[in-house]
DNA sequence: GCCAACGTTGGC
DNA sequence: GCCAACGTTGGC
């Protein structure tokens, strides 16, 4: 069992939107490292920190879990989609995704607060210049975050 | 809107 | 295979 942090822009899909769906196809990832995490490393049942990015208060907003094995992101084949990739074909898809099932909304554990927690200093998402939309979370970090979410 | 820090592209 | 130019992310 592994743990992940996945960024979503709440203007696009917030934790509330995600909770309203049976599961959410994580389409639109166009970064190879992030794709590889979904394609090669994620397992059904893995824990996910649902993170709101590019918004007034960025931070962890909920909990989710991996709900499918990897499969091709259909938006890469759709010429009208902003995620269209002319180099991808049905035979050799370039972009893979998984389904994500939101399980609960949490208090907003802000980026600002995360940065004050010593035990989380090495979290990939907090590293300087980190822009990856999907990053691994260690079991120890997950535990610390769960504890922080229960507070107050 | 700014801009640091990356990632990607394409000419050579 | 190098690397300059360009594009993107995302906090501020």
CATH of the domain at A59: 3.10.590.10
CA distance A39 to A26: 12
pLDDT band at A26 (very low <50, low <70, confident <90, very high): very high
CA distance A94 to A35: 9
What are the tens digits of pLDDT across the range A112-150? 999 999 999 999 999 998 999 999 999 999 999 999 998
Count of structural domains, chain A? 1
At A124, is the secondary structure helix, strand, or coil? Answer: helix
Closest nucleotide to the alpha carbon of A85, via C1' = B8
Q: How far is the CA of A94 from the C1' of B11 (A)?
A: 25
Q: What is chain A's length?
A: 152
What are the tens digits of pLDDT across the range A52-96? 999 999 999 999 999 999 999 999 999 889 999 988 888 889 999
Strand B bases contacted by the protein (CB, 7 Å): 4-8
CA distance A103 to A36: 24
* Residue A85 domain boundaries: 3-150
Instruction: Tell me if A85 sits within 8 A of A31, measured CB to CB.
Output: no
**Is the confidence at residue A35, as pLDDT, over 90?**
yes
Closest nucleotide to the alpha carbon of A9, via C1' = C10
pLDDT band at A98 (very low <50, low <70, confident <90, very high): very high
Closest nucleotide to the alpha carbon of A32, via C1' = B7
Strand C bases contacted by the protein (CB, 7 Å): 8-12
Beta bridge partners of A50: A6, A62
């Amino acid at each position: 069992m592994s743990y992940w942090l996945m960024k979503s822009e709440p203007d696009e899909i917030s934790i509330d939107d995600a909770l309203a769906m049976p599961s959410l196809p994580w389409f639109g990832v166009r970064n190879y490292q992030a794709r590889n995490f979904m394609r090669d490393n994620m397992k059904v049942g893995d824990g996910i920190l649902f993170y709101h990015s590019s918004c007034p208060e960025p931070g962890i907003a909920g909990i989710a879990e991996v709900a499918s094995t990897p499969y091709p992101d259909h938006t890469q084949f759709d010429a009208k989609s902003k995620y269209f990739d002319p180099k991808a074909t049905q035979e050799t898809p370039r972009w893979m995704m998984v389904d994500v099932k939101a399980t609960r909304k949490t208090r907003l554990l802000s980026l600002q607060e995360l940065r004050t927690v010593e035990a989380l200093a090495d979290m990939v998402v907090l590293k300087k210049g980190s822009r990856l939309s999907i990053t691994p979370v260690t079991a120890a970090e997950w535990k610390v975050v769960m504890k922080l979410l229960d507070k107050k």
